[in-house]
């Protein structure tokens, strides 16, 4: 710790794809800018109020046209960030990969009238709790140290030691969303192949393909085992709490004390579809 003068009040902000539980966000004073889901002729903020995740995933297979997702308007980004600058010396912002979404650009535009020397915008390179863990550990370091370089270093270390894996129950929604090139191949749906999807360094790629959902989950368990020792884990699902509970049981011997189980943000669930399972791992190597 330096002198009291060097202690900065640093706040962390992320877009709502970060999936940070609301009580954790409150406790760590993490600001969240909601992203939007458009369906049934309306636009809904993913703010924990306008969109009920369970109800949305139940409805999804019956919707006549595929829902779409949208970045927040820049003015909304500014509305979250500007008041934080009244109380903080510096605001560090994290978003989903610029390569996958317009959210990064919305943050850039939304803060263009704010003091650039007090803002840092970071492409997290990842999704859901992959970004969530970056934001949470950054906020912990910010509260303890008040040191911007320590905060940015923590984000980078967490980024290097975090993996995000998911298994869609069906390829149908990835195909419909058209967001990932390799999912467009109709053959996968015909063959009922289940891809294991990984998000890392701004890219969503299929790293393995198996014939059944059960085999895909076996593979997911193997991938998590390879990441041990684990510091933090998030078990993700889209309306599949039973599947998440089963994974938790199978991974019990490896799991750290801190495990988050969550129904994933609809902004990501819209593309991966209901019934999916996923895991985010933070390996202990980030501490070095």
Taking only the tens place, the pLDDT of each residue in 140-167 is 999 999 999 999 999 999 999 999 999 9
Residues 6+ apart with CB under 8 A from 173: 60, 66, 270, 271, 272, 273, 274
Tell me which CATH code domain 162-287 carries. Answer: 3.30.1180.10
Is residue 229 reached through a cis peptide bond, with omega within 30 degrees of 0 on the bond before it?
Answer: yes
Taking only the tens place, the pLDDT of each residue in 206-250 is 888 888 889 999 999 999 999 999 999 999 999 999 999 999 999
CA distances from 35 to 44, 54, 180, 190, 234 (A): 8, 17, 19, 33, 21
> 4-35+71-160 adopts what CATH topology?
Rossmann fold (3.40.50)
Cα–chain-centroid distance for residue 96? 7
Position 2 confidence tier, pLDDT thresholds 50, 70, 90: very low
Which DSSP string corresponds to 103-157? Answer: HHHHHHHHTTTS-GGGEEEEE-SS-HHHHHHHHHHHHHHHHHH--HHHHHHHHHH
| Residue 243 per-residue DSSP state | H
pLDDT at 186 over 70: no
Which DSSP string corresponds to 46-91? Answer: -SSSS--HHHHHHHGGG-SS--EEEPPPHHHHHHHHHHHHHH-SEE
Read off the pLDDT of each residue in 113-118 and give the average, rounded to a whole number: 97
What pTM did the predictor assign? 0.93
pLDDT at 182 over 60: no
Mean of all residue pLDDT scores within the chain: 91
Give the containing element (helix H, strand E) for 221.
Answer: helix 213-225
Taking only the tens place, the pLDDT of each residue in 261-288 is 999 999 999 988 999 999 999 999 999 7
Rounded to 5 degrees, φ, ψ at 171 are -80, -10
Of 158, 143, 120, which Cα lies nearest the Cα of 14?
120
pLDDT at 1 over 60: no
Which of 18-22, 61-65, 71-75 bottoms out in mean pLDDT, i.e. has the lowest? 61-65
Of 266, 270, 263, 274, which Cα lies nearest the Cα of 213?
274
The two three-digit tokens of residue 158, written as one number: 């967490």
Dist CA 30 CA 124 (whole Å): 15
Position 100 confidence tier, pLDDT thresholds 50, 70, 90: confident
Read off the pLDDT of each residue in 19-36 and give the average, rounded to a whole number: 96
Dist CA 89 CA 47 (whole Å): 26
pLDDT at 192 over 80: no
Position 176 confidence tier, pLDDT thresholds 50, 70, 90: confident
User: Domain locations in the chain?
Assistant: 4-35+71-160, 162-287
Residue 191 is predicted with a pLDDT of: 55
Dist CA 262 CA 236 (whole Å): 5
Residues 6+ apart with CB under 8 A from 102: 70, 71
């Amino acid at each position: 710790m330096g002198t009291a003068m060097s202690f900065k009040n640093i706040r962390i902000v992320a877009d709502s794809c970060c999936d940070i539980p609301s009580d954790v966000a409150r406790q760590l004073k993490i600001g969240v800018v909601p992203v939007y889901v458009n369906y049934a002729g309306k636009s809904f903020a993913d703010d924990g109020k306008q969109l009920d995740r369970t109800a949305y995933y139940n409805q999804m297979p019956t919707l006549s046209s595929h829902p779409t997702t949208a970045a927040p308007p820049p003015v909304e980004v500014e509305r979250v960030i500007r008041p934080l600058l009244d109380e903080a010396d510096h605001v560090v912002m994290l978003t989903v990969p610029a390569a996958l979404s317009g959210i990064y650009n919305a943050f850039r535009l939304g803060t263009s009238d704010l003091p650039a020397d007090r803002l840092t915008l970071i492409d997290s390179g990842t999704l859901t709790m992959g970004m969530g863990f970056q934001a949470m550990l950054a906020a912990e370091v910010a509260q303890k140290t008040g040191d911007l370089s320590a905060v940015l270093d923590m984000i980078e270390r967490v980024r290097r030691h975090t993996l995000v894996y998911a298994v869609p129950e069906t390829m149908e929604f990835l195909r419909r969303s058209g967001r990932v090139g390799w999912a467009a191949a109709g053959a996968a749906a015909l063959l009922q192949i289940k891809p294991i999807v990984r998000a890392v360094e701004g890219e969503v790629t299929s790293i393995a393909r198996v014939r059944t959902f059960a085999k895909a989950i076996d593979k997911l368990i193997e991938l998590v085992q390879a990441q041990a020792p684990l510091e933090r884990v998030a078990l993700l699902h889209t309306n599949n709490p039973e599947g998440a509970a089963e994974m938790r049981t199978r991974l019990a011997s490896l799991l750290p004390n801190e495990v988050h189980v969550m129904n994933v943000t609809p902004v990501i669930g819209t593309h991966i579809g209901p019934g999916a399972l996923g895991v985010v791992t933070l390996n202990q190597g980030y501490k070095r």
